Structure 1
Amino acid sequence: MAPGVAEQVRPAEAAEPDLITVGVEEEFLLADPATGAAVPAVHAVLDQVPAELRGQVQLEFQTSQIEIGSPPGLDLTALRHSLGLLRTGVAEAAEAAGARLLAVGTGPMPGPVPPVVDKPRYHRMIEQYRLLAPGPGTNGMHVHVGVGDPEVAVQVLNHIRPWLPILHAATANSPFYEGQDTGYASWRSMLWERWPSTAPTPYLESYAHYQKLIDQLIASGVMLDDGMLYWYSRLSASYPTVEIRIGDVCPSLDDTILIAALCRALVATALADIDAGREAPRTDHHLVAAAHWLAAHDGLAGQAVDPVTGDRRPAWRVLRQLVDRVRPQLDRHGDLGLATYLLGKLHSHGTGAERQRAVYERTGQLSAVLDDLARQARG
């Protein structure tokens, strides 16, 4: 745990009985330690993962990727501990298998395209969508927040959709690709948006409307199944949760825990609004899409779309608007002190994209960027 974090956390015993759970999934790149290129090493790495962690480590789409998942819980200290053990265990397993674990949105270095994992579903995806998948792999972070009633969960999706772009900006962590600076803070986002079912979540009238759209998208051929619903927030197909899936994998645990805290507080704020009878804003779909593009381009280093007015504003001002909006729920869940502390660290150090560019500017070497990413990934 980072110095100074522990004293920012309210004891779990003080928790209210109706608090909501949060869990996190993180995807990582497996790279060649010498060249930095993505390597198809996932099976060799899984063989080295300690037995007690294997139930929380799994394959992803490409053989150059690996995923970890925390159990859901109320206490962010426990979440941090769980993710830290997983990150460290998988990083050591990667080293034992002759690879390197990188917490990065997509591979910064050129190299051969690793194959997809040998699963019938993945082969069908390649057959159907062809060249949408080439590259080293796209690595995201998914936050699961407990909402049991699907009808209420759909209303939550409506309430949170205008605020997701600023969280997208805060996770930006993939400025380099094929050995060069892309000009974007999150190039992973640009690669990911090639998939036809990747989009901001639309405004939904009901759970029946949500299900009907899924059926229609599958019938159209845009998706093979409901697992390919790549909206930026959705109802999990496996758990009674709202799943927020807007960002690059975060470079450090500090970043991950901050985003998890803000996502839970945003969902809890939406639930409070729903209970009070407040309707979700019907923000235009194209404006939300534009806000996500700007988030991928600038991260927090430039401009963002104000979700209330639709105007361009400095990204940090919009992020602080979000924090002010969800502050009561941060406090209610015992996360306010921790979130405030980690927000200060993020403001001081910058997003992952800003940190990568700072290392490159200082050293002139992408290898130094990879060294720093590997260090942060260890948890």
Structure 2
Amino acid sequence: MLSKGFEVEMYTSTPEGEIVGLSDKIVAELDGFVREPDSRNVEYTTPPCYRYERLLCDLVRPRVRLREYLKHLGNYTLTPGSTLALGGGDRFHRSDPSNPYHTYIEQTYGTRVVTASIHINVGISDPEVLLRACRLVRVEAPLYLALSAASPFLDGEVTGYHSTRWGLFPKTPAQVPLFESHLHFIRWTEQQLALGTMQNVRHLWSSVRPNGDRRPYNLNRLELRICDLVSDPVALLAITALLEARLIQLMQEPTLDPLQVSQLSAATRAQDLVALTDANEAAAARLSLDAELIHWQSGQPILARDWVEQLYGEVWAIAKKEGFSCFLTPLKKILREGNEAQRWLQLQQQGKDVASVVKQAIQDTANQELTLRDTLCQPLVA
């Protein structure tokens, strides 16, 4: 098994869904939380871990602790979803007005970056294996977006996206290649920094990127950045289990590399795969599991949910052998009942207004976290 960890971005709000900036107080009082450029977001990171049972508690415990602190501040809670669903998208709420990088972000992108998401990190120490993994995950990243979509609302309106976050997010730089090697990644990054298309080594906002302690030179993990905030920890672990099993499959079958096995012409394969993947990401942002994508291996159209089913069948035996297949099975529920965006849109289509849907989701999420804490993580809670 591979080591795994999460970066979790969340909104603080009232129980009615009004997003409120509290990160300055949270960061000052609670260990383990860091600020984002906008004060309405706060982030925590789970430590690298191999076992899914431990990962579940690592996800839940900080949120329960944060909820208790928010109650101490007043009538505040956490809001699921990845956009400013009920309002507040008209202006930035700076968390650190003196930070020049935050100034650049606000002036360049505005509130398009005031989103909440999950970044899934998986440890891979060999840089060439890591870059190969990034190539595979890049062309399949739309599937993880489809499973995780949770932002169909913005400023009180239905947007037409299942993931408004990814539909509007300013991917930076605008053109990111499939990196053919570690050296290619180093030279490309150095070039972007020289050109100013990246302000620093963190300023690579694509669906997946290689990460490490001294980027781009020392790398030790794959970071999947495309996922919306998955508020259900069990669903997040299922998505992560699919990713891990797929990476183990790649390590067992090194030829499972888009630059080697795609049906696209070898002469333009790298560029064509990027164009195909960008189109698939846009389609998944719109319709998530119901989106029609183009399979990178066959070049044929396929529904996102059917592609996920296909991968599930391919990696089930790997997950079973490694001992984590039980954490993969909740994917079936997502495919059957829909992701968060689809379930919220269904409620809205049945006659509930957006505010009521969000308010119910806030309460449901809080109840679920407390249940998980009490039933599965209680012995680990101080």
TM-score (norm 1): 0.85
Q: Provide closer, same or farther for how the CA distance between residues 222 and 149 of structure 1 changes in structure 2, counting only shifts above 3 A.
A: same
Q: 331, 340, 361: which one pairs with 2:349?
A: 361
Is 2:91–2:110's contact at 8 Å kept on the other side of the alignment?
no
1:146 alignment partner AA: G
User: What's the counterpart of residue 37 of structure 1?
Assistant: 18
Q: 102, 107, 117: which one pairs with 1:140?
A: 117
- Counterparts of 2:29 and 2:364, CA distance in 1: 20
The yes-or-no answer on 1:80 pairing with 2:67 is: no
State the number of aligned residues.
Answer: 351
- Counterparts of 1:70 and 1:212, CA distance in 2: 31
Alignment map for 1:17-32 (pairs within 5 Å): 19-32=1-14
Return 166-175 or 125-134, whichever deviates more.
Answer: 125-134
Secondary structure of the 1:189 match is: helix
For 1:179-202, what per-residue CA distance to the aligned partner results, in whole angstroms no more than 9, with x for missing partners? Answer: 11000100000221x243266x52
1:144 alignment partner AA: N
User: What's the counterpart of residue 374 of structure 2?
Assistant: none
For 1:54-95, what per-residue CA distance to the aligned partner results, in whole angstroms no more than 9, with x for missing partners? Answer: 23x221221000112211111111101111112222233233
Is 1:41–1:97's contact at 8 Å kept on the other side of the alignment?
no
Q: Provide closer, same or farther for how the CA distance between residues 372 and 202 of structure 1 changes in structure 2, counting only shifts above 3 A.
A: farther
The yes-or-no answer on 1:289 pairing with 2:289 is: no
- Counterparts of 2:68 and 2:261, CA distance in 1: 45
Per the TM alignment, residue 22 of structure 1 is displaced from its structure 2 partner at its CA by 1.2
- Counterparts of 1:96 and 1:333, CA distance in 2: 43
Per the TM alignment, residue 316 of structure 1 is displaced from its structure 2 partner at its CA by 1.2
2:204 alignment partner AA: L
Q: Provide closer, same or farther for how the CA distance between residues 198 and 62 of structure 1 changes in structure 2, counting only shifts above 3 A.
A: farther
Is 1:62–1:115's contact at 8 Å kept on the other side of the alignment?
yes
Secondary structure of the 2:253 match is: helix
Secondary structure of the 2:133 match is: helix
Q: 363, 368, 380: which one pairs with 1:375?
A: 363
Is 1:106–1:188's contact at 8 Å kept on the other side of the alignment?
yes
Q: 194, 212, 221: which one pairs with 1:219?
A: 194
Q: 316, 324, 347: which one pairs with 1:335?
A: 324
The yes-or-no answer on 1:206 pairing with 2:188 is: no
Q: 285, 291, 296: which one pairs with 1:307?
A: 296
Q: Percent identity?
A: 23
Is 1:233–1:244's contact at 8 Å kept on the other side of the alignment?
yes
Structure 2 spans left out of the alignment, 5+ residues: 214-218, 263-268, 370-382
**Displacement over 6 Å in runs of 4+:** 275-278
User: What's the counterpart of residue 115 of structure 1?
Assistant: 93
- Counterparts of 1:303 and 1:178, CA distance in 2: 28
- Counterparts of 2:113 and 2:205, CA distance in 1: 19
User: What's the counterpart of residue 59 of structure 1?
Assistant: 35
Per the TM alignment, residue 211 of structure 1 is displaced from its structure 2 partner at its CA by 0.9
Q: 61, 71, 80: which one pairs with 1:103?
A: 80
TM-score (norm 2): 0.84
Is 2:132–2:257's contact at 8 Å kept on the other side of the alignment?
no
Is 2:67–2:78's contact at 8 Å kept on the other side of the alignment?
yes
- Counterparts of 1:277 and 1:326, CA distance in 2: 16
- Counterparts of 2:181 and 2:152, CA distance in 1: 38
Per the TM alignment, residue 203 of structure 1 is displaced from its structure 2 partner at its CA by 1.9
For 1:133-185, what per-residue CA distance to the aligned partner results, in whole angstroms no more than 9, with x for missing partners? Answer: 22582111111111012222112212332211111111110000011100010
Q: Provide closer, same or farther for how the CA distance between residues 104 and 208 of structure 1 changes in structure 2, counting only shifts above 3 A.
A: same
User: What's the counterpart of residue 6 of structure 1?
Assistant: none
User: What's the counterpart of residue 166 of structure 1?
Assistant: 143
Return 143-152 or 129-138, whichever deviates more.
Answer: 129-138
User: What's the counterpart of residue 236 of structure 2?
Assistant: 256
User: What's the counterpart of residue 265 of structure 1?
Assistant: 245
User: What's the counterpart of residue 245 of structure 1?
Assistant: 225
User: What's the counterpart of residue 12 of structure 1?
Assistant: none
For 1:296-330, what per-residue CA distance to the aligned partner results, in whole angstroms no more than 9, with x for missing partners? Answer: 01111342332322332222111111212322332
Q: Provide closer, same or farther for how the CA distance between residues 251 and 372 of structure 1 changes in structure 2, counting only shifts above 3 A.
A: farther
For 1:28-77, what per-residue CA distance to the aligned partner results, in whole angstroms no more than 9, with x for missing partners? Answer: 1122434x33222112334564xxxx23x221221000112211111111
User: What's the counterpart of residue 8 of structure 1?
Assistant: none
Per the TM alignment, residue 240 of structure 1 is displaced from its structure 2 partner at its CA by 1.9
Q: Provide closer, same or farther for how the CA distance between residues 276 and 354 of structure 1 changes in structure 2, counting only shifts above 3 A.
A: closer
Q: Provide closer, same or farther for how the CA distance between residues 161 and 277 of structure 1 changes in structure 2, counting only shifts above 3 A.
A: closer
- Counterparts of 1:333 and 1:245, CA distance in 2: 25
